[in-house]
Chains A and B, each alone.
Chain A
Amino acid sequence: EVQLVESGGDLVQPGRSLRLSCTASGFIFDNYAMHWVRQAPGKGLEWVSGITWNRGAIDYADSVKGRFTISRDSAKNSLYLQMNSLRVDDTALYYCAKGEKVRGGLILTHFDYWGQGTLVTVSS
């Protein structure tokens, strides 16, 4: 059974940093692109960042470019999101999502499994 479990969300002040983690199980982690998608309270879904299976491609939404860094660790079957210079409008539930295609890219593949999310609140 595929499982994605996010952690690391917290209440932080504007300008501070936070690191989110997503631990994967039930599939060969090294074979799939992984993504972060966020959802602000009462709002829709916004793709944040993605990383391919071999780290050959990494991309970010314009809203987080230069502030967030995505990475993955094969030994730990884990995906990370380092978030720096946090802003109030970064407040959201952050989901980890798996790309469906084996050794696929960041696009041309839908997201077939999602975690339950971890809440990031940025407030003074």
Chain B
Amino acid sequence: EIVLTQSPGTLSVSPGERATLSCRASQSVRSIYLAWYQQKAGQAPRLLIYGASNRATAIPDRFSGSGSGTDFTLTISRLEPEDFAVYFCQQYGSSPPTFGQGTKVEV
């Protein structure tokens, strides 16, 4: 199975700053099959990005995804207070679908 490694484990940033989250795969992922999810404390995950760079419905444009092959990035251009959460990447191009261990974005 494809193992996804996210870094850093925790990212400390201030509101208004830029956050860059990394997701590295153990083998190449077809880029259209890479997603990012946001999970706030006590809540279910919410889809942010699919196909490596496509924003899901109602996701603000401060969220962007990029990358290909084994290296993918989620960028939050200007952090809002509601963006402090845990972010997971997922590959769904090969079985089984797998998730990274998450990056916590905190103040």
Binding site for B on A (CB under 8 A): 35, 43-47, 50, 59, 61, 95, 100, 106-117
Contact = CB atoms under 8 A, between A and B. Distances in A.
A59 B97 CA distance: 11
14 contacts: A44-B101, A44-B102, A45-B45, A46-B99, A47-B96, A47-B97, A47-B99, A61-B96, A95-B44, A95-B45, A107-B95, A110-B35, A111-B37, A111-B92
A47 B50 CA distance: 17
A12 B92 CA distance: 32
B93 interface: yes
Given A44-B101, A46-B99, A116-B44, A110 B88 contact: no
Nearest to A46: B99
B33 interface: yes
Interface residues of B, number: 24
Contacts of A114: 44-46
Interface of B: 33, 35, 37, 43-47, 50-51, 56, 88, 90, 92-102
Contacts of B93: 107-108
Given A47-B99, A107-B92, A111-B45, 10 more contacts: A43-B101, A44-B100, A46-B99, A95-B44, A106-B97, A107-B93, A107-B97, A111-B37, A114-B46, A117-B44
